[in-house]
Structure 1
Amino acid sequence: VILWCLLDSDIELFTRCLVGKRIASLSGKVVWITGASSGIGKALAIELAKNGVKLVLTARRGAELENVKRECLTQSGGKLQPIDILVMQMDMTEIARHQQFFDHVLQHFGRLDILVNNAGRSQRANWEDISIKVDQDLFQLDVFSVVNLSRIAVRYFKGANVRGHIAVTSSTAGLVPVPNSASYTGAKHSIHGYFGALQTENPGLDVTIFCPGPTFSEFLQEAYTDREGVKYGESVRPTDKRMTAERCAHLFAVALANKLHINWVGLFPISLLAYVCLYFPNIRVLIVKYVGLGGLKKIRDSN
């Protein structure tokens, strides 16, 4: 228990940070990060750029992506040139255009080594109030667009006869059901099912499911609610007990370098809760009973 109090990740990831492959082992690789204009995606791009990783950066906000590219070039310390970072303005929900974007990546770099599916939105809403259209819209972005782009990548890896790597930003909500985020929790559990099945069917493919806990980012502003087209619109407080996006990105990069399958990160008690719910699922019922809904909300919101 003391170890869980001190760690901000699962034990496997903590160990690899100490004795595993360095992030620099990815130098020269081509990594595509979706949702790269802010938050974890932006921080991961910068972390990889520092280690000489060539990047494909996509998101809906083109101007923000250009800013990220400039920061990546600066932080790379000369390891990367402008041609080593490809920026594409892309809406993940436009599934019919995924192949076009993928082909452009191959035209630019000649290959892709790692796809990091990071784009997505969270949610704040009561379970019974959620419109089914919100469920559909959230799954379209957080699940179906991710699966579609990944299928294109898997077909490419198999056709090129290379050992590819697919990564996805999930959430600790994919491990521990959280209150007032039912559609989001369901989507993340679905991601675990899809990508767990992918690894089972393709042992020659590396699959990383990365599960951040509460993290400083803009996710609450863009979060879905219970009504179609309505965003939550709130910001995280600087006093919240959240992991920084930079620390989260560093741990994500370590997971990629070491080709880990599933990892979770977050400040106490996130790691402890994840272990309990994974290995002792019936105890989760007792936790809900004794911690209460209010306590679980405080943990989720890092109060």
Structure 2
Amino acid sequence: MRDQTGRKGDAFQDQVVWITGASSGIGAALVHEFIDQGARVVLSARRESELNNVSRECVEGGCDAARLLVLPLDVTHYDAMPAAVQQVLDTFGGIDLLINNAGLSQRSLCLDTDMDVYRQLLEVDVLGQIALTKSVLPHMVTRGSGHLAVTASVAGKVGAPLRTGYCAAKHAVMGFFDALRTEVAHQNIRVTTIIPGFIRTDIARNALTGTGAPAGMADGDIDGGMDVQACARMIVDGFVAGQEEIDVGVGPEMDLLKLKRDNPTAAFRLMEAMAADALTSRAAE
């Protein structure tokens, strides 16, 4: 990240930042931002080829390859996590910040959604985040410092149509990490929840339908959302400022957070109207 003079920042100079879901979208954008901040970055996701592409972009931009570790990881493979943590420690000597960013979305009505789809959403978006956090946490406790973060969503605060499983998962991670914050604060370990709104990524195209197949469709709200690199800059700025909950977005969806707090009944009626519109649009397809 550069300041107003165009110079790179150094807020995370030589810190080790581990980012899951780093092969695309917000995760890939965060890799670039932390490299600009002087961090050493661990890139994890299932798709090794895409991780290598992100790493190569960083090197072509002037990053020393020794500051990057491509570490393929499926967050649903819990047994692989201890070895992955050890590889990071062997390579960089520590873990300063873990950003749990892996995730799947959903686009289907509850009545049309197989239980296996709900199970997959919870495995990836909730249990995978918890499992990796639990694997990293003992290291942070032993060293007496650390920072844990998770990418949640506005859907972790507000129920939205066609996203019953996604909302359940994002509400769950918000609850888990808020509770975890209370347990580890006295051990000098910070916890941050990230709440993006509509960000221009492929999340809608990769979202699961009721059968588990990718939706493969554009989403006007997502495509008209915040630039992903601007989103990453806002997240890093929030870390630097010490924010414990970072709202990220520029559209009307961000107003839902305040509406849900101040007038939940109005928020419920608004989302019901949105659901009616969505059902009408689907019936017309």
Q: Same fold (TM over 0.5)?
A: yes
More off after superposition, 233-242 vs 256-265:
233-242
Aligned partner of residue 158 in structure 2, secondary structure: coil
Aligned partners of 2:13 and 2:37 also within 8 Å = yes
User: For 1:220, what is the secondary structure of its paired residue?
Assistant: coil
CA distance in 2, matches of 1:237, 1:115: 31
- Whichever residue aligns with residue 167 of structure 1, its letter is A
For the residue of structure 2 that corresponds to 1:26, the secondary structure is coil
Q: Residues 248 and 297 from structure 1, CA distance in 2 versus in 1: closer, same or farther, beyond 3 angstroms?
A: farther
RCO (CA 8 Å, sep 6+): is it higher in 1 or 2?
1
SS of corresponding position for 1:209: strand
For residues 110 and 155 of structure 1, the distance between their equivalents in structure 2, rounded to whole angstroms, comes to 14
Q: Is this contact kept in 2: 1:129–1:226, CA < 8 A?
A: yes
1:222 to 200, 206, 210: 206
Match of 1:130 among 113, 119, 141: 113
Relative to the length of structure 2, the TM-score reads: 0.89
Residue 152 of structure 1 is aligned with which of 135, 144, 148? 135
Equivalent of residue 55 in structure 2, options 69, 88, 99: 69
Would you say the 8 A contact 2:199–2:222 is kept in 1? no
1:194 to 1:24, Cα distance in 2 relative to 1, 3 A: same
Secondary structure at the counterpart of residue 221 of structure 1: coil
- Aligned partner of 2:46 in structure 1 is 60
Which stretch has the larger CA shift, 280-289 or 164-173? 280-289
Distance 1:236 1:247, change over 3 A: same
Unaligned stretches of 5+ residues in structure 2: 281-285
Partner of 2:129: helix, strand, or coil? Answer: helix
Q: Distance in 1 between matches of 2:222 and 2:18?
A: 32
How far apart are the structure 2 equivalents of 1:288 and 1:206? 33
Amino acid paired to 2:22: A
CA contact (8 A) 1:42 1:68 kept: yes
- Displacement of 1:296 after TM fit? 7.4
State the TM-score, normalized to the length of structure 1. Answer: 0.84
CA displacement at 1:236 relative to structure 2 = 4.4
Per the TM alignment, residue 50 of structure 1 is displaced from its structure 2 partner at its CA by 1.4
User: Are residue 201 (structure 1) and residue 188 (structure 2) matched?
Assistant: no
Deviation at 1:280, TM superposition (A): 2.9
Count of residues paired in the alignment: 273
Report the secondary structure of 1:57's partner residue.
strand
Q: What residue number does 1:182 align with?
A: 164
One-letter amino acid matched to 2:46: R
Aligned residue in 2 for 1:117:
100
Partner Cα distance (1:239, 1:227) in 2:
22
Cα shift at 1:223: 1.1
State, as a whole percentage, how many aligned pairs show the same letter: 32
Aligned match of 2:14 in 20, 28, 50?
A: 28
Distance 1:239 1:166 in 2: 27
Bigger Cα displacement from structure 2, 240-249 vs 111-120:
240-249
Q: Is the 8 A contact 1:172 1:211 kept in 2?
A: yes
Aligned residue for 1:138, secondary structure, equals helix
> What do the CA deviations read for 1:238-262 (whole angstroms, capped 9, x no partner)?
9942111111111111122223111
Determine the C-alpha separation between the residues in 2 that align with 1:147 and 1:280. Answer: 31
Residue identity matched to 1:183: G
Q: Match for 1:91 among 74, 81, 97?
A: 74
Contact 2:20/2:44 (8 A) holds in 1: yes
1:75-133 per-position Cα deviation (integer Å, ceiling 9, x unaligned): 3x4xx411110001211111110111011000000101000001111000001221111
- Uncovered stretches (5+) of structure 1, i.e. residues with no partner: 1-16, 299-303
Match of 1:191 in 2: 173
> What value does the CA root-mean-square deviation take over the aligned residues?
2.3
